[in-house]
Structure 1
Amino acid sequence: MKDAFQLKTDLTFLNHGSFGACPKPVFENFQDFQREMEQDPVYFIQKKFAMHLAKAKEALATFINCNVNDFIFTPNPTVGVNTIMRSLNLQEGDEILATNHEYGAMDRTWNFYCKKSGAKYVRQPITLPIISKEQIIEEFWQGVSAKTKIIFLNQISSTTALIFPVKEICEKARELGITTIIDGAHVPGHIELDIKALQPDYYTGTLHKWMLAPKGSSFLYVRKELQNQLDPLVVSWGYDSLAPSESPFLDLHEYQGTNDNAAYLCTPAVIGFLHQHNWVQKSDAAKKMVLQNYPRFCALLNSNPIAPLSAEFFGQMASIPVRTSKPEELKDLLFDKYKIQIPVMLLNNEVYLRYSINAYNSQADLDVLYGALADIIQTTTIIEV
């Protein structure tokens, strides 16, 4: 499948998880919308945009199994979560329960809003290595208190690449009357997402990662009972609309003037590409490759798995602990000398090497990585084994 993408041929690309990679036909559809808009911007924005948006939303609603009027498109999950946060009306002493595996931008955003409100962001430690799903659940709920108002949880961790038991946590949160905000940035197109089955209060995910959409395409789902409580980040024509729809939620959040919405509009092409190329099967093959290679990288780096090697905890990417005091230097060396694009990330005072596998990857790509790491171990002191 590598010919279907625009990735450099001399690059070993093992970092789909950061920003994705868009197939050529989807990117062409994206540019077609941009060209159509430029041919008559007024007509496109005022007359055709709503029609294209409706088709895009219908396609995505079917793909993630939710009502078409219960979500909006956003450029990324950070925008979605910021939209939620500014409307939560947090009070001094309120607590937000998360884990110590959340995305760094989200940690920073919660810290920002907590500083303004006096609320407390609780990063509950989840011990590595993971032993079982039950261990995660038990450790997570040790962080709850009578002051817990919000549960914020990534479904797949960015740095550790671990899949978290979000469904079970959402179920208990509903019993306790605690609001749930789920960061599913890595989920759509990666593992199954069924919003109606999950029943979160809020859920945000990207299309431009594992669904292969152009950059800047994500969504924010909001449970219907909470939609009228959500203020827009930007107030525009949807406020006191001259032609209001049945949903003030959509009026306030969907129409923001001259944003470039082409990435959203090609959602039908995105989903069409996935179906046309049997992407579920390709994803399954990638997941098997991730698990099959994990033990040999652990052996090379003198490391241990951070969770049982199964689909319960790993998808199309995996993180391996690596002992180094120079993570940025290691990342730059892998790119500059060996032409390997791969993240080396720091979390909770540990460093992780995370490889992502998609249909354009092959075993040869992981062999290149293995050879590069072996060479670095032999010729430098950057990696300690």
Structure 2
Amino acid sequence: MKDIAQNEFPLAPGIVLLNHASYGITSRRVLAAAQAMQHEIDSDPTMRLGSALLEPLRKHTDLFAETVGLNPAGTTLCTNATTGAAAIIASAALDETSTVVALETEYSSILRGWEIATERSGATLVRIPVQLPFDGPDQLIERLEATVPGDIAYLQMSLVSSSSAVHFPMAEMAAWAHSRGGRLIVDAAHGPGHVPLDPIGWGADAVFGTIHKWFPALRPIGFLWLAEDLIDTVRPAEVSLTWDSPDLVERFSWPGTFDPVSRLSLPVAIEQWRQWEQQGAWAECVDLAGAAVESFTSIGARPTATSPYQPPRLRAFILDEMTVAEVKELTTQAGIRAWVGPGAEGECILRIATHVYNDITDIETVVSQLKGALRR
């Protein structure tokens, strides 16, 4: 698969890219389609922008929802995960009696969004540490029970945490949130095209995420899913011409003048993603991620989660013998692109993502660079 896939992405020669999860990569096929669409729009922008976008965007929203298993009636495309999160947070009914709970493993901008909202409303924000390696919900729920008094308004958590790459058990966490009278808000930035989405089965109340991370789509593009009773109340954080629309897709279809090509070219990305699925590419990527766990643990790295809570194609490791600065310097000089940063307790975490353009030699390259340092 690697030789074929390398021709489908504009990757620079000599780069070992294991950081697909941060930004994704647009495939050559989607880039070509997007360029043609851009030329078409600019041939007559008066007729091809504004209200003319609504029906194509509705059609593409339905296709996306069908592909990832969401209810189209509660789904809309939006600019990115941050846009979806901002809409939920800005629409949240908070006052000085409200409590918002967020896991410390949440993406920093999402945590900051809830910080600002609770500061403005007088509500309380409780941030809950997540012990790594994560080995199941029992310890986390025990900590929630011990830390959070009384009822809550919202529990904010990720389907797959960004830096620590933990695939959290959604149903158990939703049950806890509902037992405290709250709603579960899920950051599913690492869901579409990677981890199945089932918000109704989980018991989630709202889900936001990014599409361009795991589909070969043009950046940026995200989505928002809402439970039925929230569809009429969640509004975009920016007030645009469609802000007042009773229709969810229309409400998010015109965030001021913007470039709609990333949304319009989404069907091309979905088609290519499905072809790779039919060719067995995603199964190969899962196997490669499993091989990476074996290779990394053999040199002393520790996975951030036990096997049941490791995402299919995203794995993270605690490097006890190295600092973040050391690992960043080592990987950068070797042409390795992987996410490296601090954990909640200051530990060094390295995260890798396996994609269709990777093979075992990429894993071996990283391991060979780290081996000496981890065994010093």
> Do both proteins adopt the same fold according to a TM-score greater than 0.5, normalized to the shorter chain?
yes
Residue 302 of structure 2: aligned partner = 304
> SS at 1:108's partner residue?
helix
* Comparing 363-372 and 23-32, the one that deviates more: 23-32
Contact 2:152–2:180 (CA<8 Å) still a contact in 1? no
C-alpha change, 1:161 and 1:70, in structure 2 (3 Å) is same
Matches within 5 A, 1:247-266: 247-266=246-265
RMSD: 2.3
Q: Is the CA contact (8 Å cut-off) linking 2:100 and 2:154 kept in structure 1? A: yes
Offset from partner CA, 1:324-364 (integer Å, 9 cap, x none): 664135313311x2111111111212210111111110001
What secondary structure does 2:229 align onto?
helix
Q: Does 1:364 align with 2:365?
A: no
Please give the per-residue CA displacement for 1:62-90, whole angstroms capped at 9, x wherever unaligned: 02333323222222211111111112131
2-structure distance, mates of 1:362, 1:325: 25
How many Å apart are 1:172 and its aligned residue? Answer: 4.2
SS of 2:66's partner is helix
Which of 169, 174, 177 lines up with 1:170 in the alignment?
Answer: 174
Q: Who is 2:291 aligned against?
A: 292
Distance in 2 (alpha carbons) for counterparts of 1:129 and 1:219 = 30
* Residue of structure 1 aligned with 2:69, choices 59, 65, 78: 65
Report the Cα offset of residue 20 of structure 1. 0.9
Specify every segment of 5 or more residues in structure 1 that has no aligned partner in the other structure, as ranges: 378-382
Aligned to 1:317: 314
Matches within 5 A, 1:127-206: 127-206=131-210
The question of whether the paired residues in 2 share the 8 Å contact of 1:94 and 1:119 is answered with yes
Q: Tell me the SS of whatever aligns to 2:58.
A: helix
**Cα 1:129–1:123, aligned 2, differ >3 Å: closer, same or farther?**
same
Q: CA deviation at 1:148?
A: 1.3
Map Cα deviations across residues 192-218 of structure 1 (whole Å, 9 max, x no partner): 113343342110111101122111111
Match of 2:371 in 1: 374
In the alignment, which residue of structure 2 is the partner of 1:28? 32
Task: Give 3-state SS (helix, strand or coil) of 2:76's partner.
Answer: strand
Question: Quick one: which amino acid aligns to residue 369 of structure 1?
Answer: V
Give the counterpart letter for 1:338 in structure 2: A
Note if contact 2:183-2:205 (Cα within 8 Å) is conserved in structure 1.
yes
Residues 279/164 of structure 1: CA separation in 2 closer, same or farther (3 Å cut): farther
Contact 1:323 1:384 (C-alpha < 8 Å) held by counterparts? no
* 1:186–1:210 Cα contact (<8 Å) kept: yes
Shift of 1:384: 7.6
Identity of aligned residues (%): 25
> Which of 318, 322, 336 is the matching residue for 1:340?
336
Do the aligned partners of 2:153 and 2:183 also contact (CA within 8 Å) in 1?
Answer: yes
Question: Residues 299 and 215 from structure 1, CA distance in 2 versus in 1: closer, same or farther, beyond 3 angstroms?
Answer: same
Q: Is the 8 A contact 1:157 1:163 kept in 2?
A: yes
Amino acid corresponding to residue 366 of structure 2 in structure 1: L
Aligned partner of 1:208 in structure 2 is 212
Looking at structure 1, the residues matched to 55 and 249 of structure 2 have their Cα atoms a distance apart, in angstroms, of 15
Q: Which residue is equivalent to 1:94? A: 98
Distance, in Å, in 1 between the alignment partners of 2:137 and 2:77 is 32
CA distance in 2, matches of 1:235, 1:126: 36
Q: What CA distance in whole angstroms lies between the structure 2 residues aligned with 1:195 and 1:270?
A: 23
CA distance in structure 1 between the aligned counterparts of 2:320 and 2:219, rounded to whole angstroms: 33
Give the match for residue 282 of structure 2. Answer: 283
Q: Does 1:121 align with 2:125?
A: yes
How far off is 1:288 after superposition? 2.0
Q: How many residues align?
A: 371
- Distance in 1 (CA, whole Å) between partners of 2:207 and 2:226 is 7
CA–CA distance in structure 1, aligned partners of residues 139 and 280 of structure 2: 30
Q: CA deviation at 1:366?
A: 0.7
| 2:336 is the alignment partner of 1:331 | no
Moved more, 352-361 or 190-199: 190-199
* 1:143 CA drift (Å): 4.0
**1:380: which partner in 2?**
none
Of the candidates 40, 47, 50, which is equivalent to residue 43 of structure 1? 47
Q: Distance in 1 between matches of 2:145 and 2:213?
A: 30
Residue 235 to residue 108, structure 1, CA distance change in 2 (3 Å)? closer
Per-residue CA deviation, residues 244-267 of structure 1 (Å, 9 max, x unaligned), is 6xx344443322342111111122
The answer (yes or no) to whether the contact 2:152–2:177 under 8 Å persists in 1 is no
**Residue 55, structure 1, aligned to residue 59, structure 2:** yes
Deviations 1:152-184 (A, max 9, x none): 010101111010001232244345431111000
Residue 229 of structure 1, CA deviation: 1.9
What residue number does 1:268 align with? 267
Contact kept? 1:286, 1:359, Cα under 8 Å: yes
Cα distance, 1:224–1:139 mapped onto 2, change above 3 Å: same
The verdict on how the C-alpha distance between 1:296 and 1:187 changes in structure 2, with shifts beyond 3 A counting, is same
Distance in 1 between residues matched to 2:208 and 2:243, nearest whole Å = 23
SS in 2 for 1:61: helix
Q: Are 1:90 and 1:119, in contact at CA under 8 Å, matched by a contact in 2?
A: yes
Q: 1:21 Cα deviation (Å)? A: 1.4
Letter in 2 for 1:320: F
- Counterparts of 1:8-19 in structure 2, within 5 Å, are 8-19=12-23
